[in-house]
Amino acid sequence: MSFGPESILNNTFNYIDTIGTGGFGRAYLAKTKKDDKKVVIKEIDLSKMDKKMKEYIVREGFLLSLLEHPNIIDFKEYYYTRKIAYITMDYADGGDLDMKIKKQKKIDEKFPEEFVIQWFLEICEAIKYIHDQGVVHRDLKPKNIFLTEDGHVKLGDLGIAKDLSNEISVAKTAIGTQPYLSPEIIEGKPYNYSTDIWDLGVILYEMIELKHPFISLSPTKMFYNIINVKYEPIEDSQYQQQLIDLVPQFLKKEPKERINLSEVIKILKELQDTRKNNNNENEKYPDYYLRRSAIFEIHNNNNENNGHIRRTISKKYENGDKYDGEVIDDMKDGKGVMQYIGGNKYDGEWKNDKKEGKGTFIYKSGSQYLGEFKNNVKDGKGVFIYKNGDRYEGNFKNGLKSGKGIKYFKNGDKYDGDWEEDDYNGNGVFYYNNGDRYDGEFKGGVKEGTGTFFYADGKSKKGKWENDEFIEE
């Protein structure tokens, strides 16, 4: 592909790649002809837009031209014709935070604490800056938070940001991405800068737990969870309690009760100082995340393996992780034990430097998984024993419960049926410890669809269910 032979971009830029497409245009990666620097160019088709959408595009270019901060994407140029608008800005060459979270989830490994603190501190400093300029972002999410190759944050996508500097600090237009909407926006109430504070809490939770606190396959349930601030508390964690305790201070239903950003920044800097004092050195976050190296202590236990050397080694990473086991050509292959600095531990089979085969993963919290792994994540048949005594036996796919499985609850309840995305989805039976039983369809972990509820006294009701509630015969 290219810009096209008639594009005015050909005069100034060399096309590299098309990195995004949407209903209103494309995003290109390009290099400037003048100094050979990489930039991102948004090409937006104005002819398909109504007046309101055009105002959003104009606003993004205008806002970017006014904002200047080390953790906000640098604006380059903004120009347009009658039919097409172009916004050029710096290229963040480290990808986005959403991509990083998904990568860590796939390998079932949480971020080192210093990454979370540094990234989140820079995100908060960028948001505080735009708030000080009278601007609320309104669409904060990991996909809009970019990273540079040297590991610093760049906040982007300000297209739906709203300038509140000349208003009474309240907006009414409901806009944003569904899982990140604050309770006040879902309920159609006026909102202000505090809607961004809510989003920061969601993002911090994701950075720590590698999953969204409110997401559900059922939008109704998701909105219910957001409005009622219902999410799983962070328990299985390798992080300092002060960092974990920030999450519920962001996720307050009442906007005026949410934590102040100046206070957050102060706490995060104190946590950084604590880490530096404990380690007796100044940690530089990107050094081992982007260029992670290992120190090897080789034992005299070498065997030939189809022309390659199999050895038993101790392998210590600079961040404190340690591997004891078999390798082929310095890649984990065979049986081995990985002790993670955060307290987690894997004991099992490896292939091509990844968890592959049967193994046991023991979490710092006390939870553990015994079963099959594929491509570094839980995949196949396995048993997950929860810290609280609950137990799941069944199938996993890409690290999540998926397929047929049974969950035994400590209180005597039991679910036997279909799973998808780590939750009840499909047909199943839920047995209650009082003798009641539901046999039918589930979605997003709740009764949804057609099913029958059998009471312990012999009575029953059959019909349609929605969000765990019976709605009609």
Catalytic positions = 139
Residue 166: which H helix or E strand, with range? none
Q: Give one DSSP letter per residue of 336-348, joined into a string.
A: EEEE-TTS-EEEE
Residue 392: which H helix or E strand, with range? strand 391-397
Residue 121: which H helix or E strand, with range? helix 113-132
The single-letter DSSP state of residue 96 is B
**b/e burial code for range 130-140 (CB count within 10 A of at least 16 → b):** bbeeebbbbbb
What's the full length of the chain, in residues? Answer: 473
CA 157 to chain CA centroid, Å, is 17
Residue pair 425/415 in contact (Cβ under 8 Å)? The answer is no
- CB neighbour list of residue 275: distance below 8 Å, 6 or more residues apart: 113, 114, 117, 283
Decide: residue 2, CB within 10 A, 0-12 exposed, 13-18 middle, 19+ buried: exposed
Other C-beta atoms within 10 Å of 22: how many? 10
Distances (CA, A) of 373 to 237, 376, 404: 22, 6, 17
Residue pair 134/193 in contact (Cβ under 8 Å)? The answer is no
Q: Give one DSSP letter per residue of 170-211, joined into a string.
A: -B----S-GGG--HHHHTT--B-THHHHHHHHHHHHHHHHSS
* Sign of the torsion angle spanned by Cα atoms 99, 102, 106, 110: positive
Other C-beta atoms within 10 Å of 300: how many? 6
**b/e burial code for range 356-372 (CB count within 10 A of at least 16 → b):** beebbbbbeeebbbbbb
Phi/psi region, residue 229 (left: phi>0; alpha: psi -120 to 50; beta: rest), is: left
Query: Which position has the token pair 């949804």?
Result: 448
